[in-house]
Amino acid sequence: MKKIVIFASGSGTNAENIIKHFKSTNIGSVVSVFTNNSNAKVIERAKILQIPTEIFSKEELYQSKVLQKLNSLQPDLIVLAGFLLKLPIEIIESYPNAIINIHPALLPKYGGKGMYGMNVHKAIVENKEKETGITIHYVNENYDEGNIIFQKKVTILITDTPEVVAEKIHELEQKYFPIVIESLL
Rounded to whole angstroms, the Cα distance separating 14 from 60 reads 24
Angle between helix 13-23 and 162-184 (nearest 10): 30
Question: Length of the chain in residues, anyone?
Answer: 185
Examine the residue annotation and report whether 121 is marked as an active-site residue of this protein: no
Active-site residue (options: 21, 103, 121, 137)? 103
Omega prior to 108 cis, within 30 of 0:
yes
Q: Mapping DSSP to helix (H, G, I), strand (E, B) and coil, where does residue 38 land?
A: coil
Whole-angstrom CA distances from 69 to 21, 45, 63 are: 24, 21, 12
Residue 86 DSSP code: P
The span from the CA of 103 to the CA of 24, in Å, is 25
Residue 56 gets which letter from DSSP?
-
Question: Nearest to residue 175, comparing CAs of 43, 1, 21?
Answer: 21
Q: Which amino acids are annotated catalytic?
A: 103
